[in-house]
Structure 1
Amino acid sequence: MRVLLAEDEKALSKALVTILERNNYSVDAVYDGESALEYLENDNYDIAILDIMMPKIDGLTVLKNVRKRNNLIPILLLTAKSEVDDKVEGLDAGANDYLAKPFHSKELLARIRAIIRTQTGQSNSKLSMGNIVLDQTSFELSSTAGNYRLSNKEFQILELLMSNPNQLISSERFLEKIWGYDSEAEINVVWVYISYLRKKLTALHANIQIKAVRNAGYVLEQKK
């Protein structure tokens, strides 16, 4: 899952990137509203976290511009302000939620999970297919044969596959969605992580498989 973080306090931004990446999110960090708008226009994110008080363009203006473009990306606002009017303005402008500074990292992660669940219509934090379950909170892949805690990239690849069962997903989409538009990663890195996942699925006696479609991509499907 890819996150755009727009926070001008660089020490806080660095800390938040560390927290998010440790919890299996891919993060692009920017430090002003102008950059946030540019990234949101040119890239593909699952959620944006915007500080309200930013240089060049403030977070509320970024939010309003994004919504004017009919971009429905989930947006969480960060604010150091306690005034009710600021929160109301943000929600009325189309924010999905807000979080007042200072906040605990656990609350930030919980707010993100709640927003994503609402957007995707999930009733819980687990994805399942066949005899395999992927826990989006603990990042564990499990079956009755055991469990594995997946690495960041493994988790994101399998989450994308399990969220789109029986659908072809190209290697290019994996790269863009997980590594990022500006990443210098080579296309074969996707195959490497697919290989890791296949080994874990085999060890778990999975009745699902990741099938490669030559020169097209990968599909998660039930074994025949």
Structure 2
Amino acid sequence: MLARAIHRAGRRARHRFVSVACGALPGQAIEDELFAVVGDRGIAGAQRGTLFLDDIDQASRGLQGRLTQVIEDRALRGPRDVVPIDVRVIATAAEEAQRVPDAIAPGLFYRLAAVRLRMPPLRERREDVPLLFAHLVDLSAARLRRAVPPLTHAARDMLSQHDWPGNVRELAHFADRFVLGLDGGAEAGRGSDASRPLPERIAAFEREAILSAIAATGGEIGAAIERLGIPRKTFYYKVQRLGIDLRMLRGQG
């Protein structure tokens, strides 16, 4: 969101904002997408605009090396052509990546880090959580075509007590579950209590993970199974054991 705000605020706003999730695609697929001399999805598509590299610390060393060369040369090299590029590059990395040796190749890091911005996690700005949640609930209700439900005690406890390690993305998923009438997030927050029996904590974690995946994929069950990375048979076994009603969740997006 911050990268898009930077893009919109300057002269490059007239051109495209291209976002690439470095940790989400196989190595060859992301290289084919990024370094194609023509097209509208990679560096060429961001010509005179902004290229956003999300989770650059998860990119392979080979990919990082090629990016370093492109940024240094300000050009894309195809089989026969060399295409000059004029692109603003914005990249994100986990804060821990700066403390892990070689998580980001030094040559690439210092070319990207001319200006560094630290995004404080939600646990450091808890006063923002209620306002962000209200905004995300409005967006979720409009997308899911549902009325905004009244705030429950469970949801209020979750907002005030949870540390939100997944930050705004996790809060957005919780907003989806809240709109769907699934206060599973509050259950997960209590599930970390060491006084609860281990089987209960495991069940709460599994239920939360499944509900989060379904909400994140807009009720597309096949996509949720792929997101969870478990066999289809295992998914349906856990859904039955945990008492999750897929009829209510399926296709809500």
User: What band does the TM-score fall into relative to the shorter chain?
Assistant: 0.3 to 0.5
Structure in which a larger fraction of residues adopt helix: 2
TM-score normalised by structure 2 residue count: 0.33
TM-score normalised by structure 1 residue count: 0.36
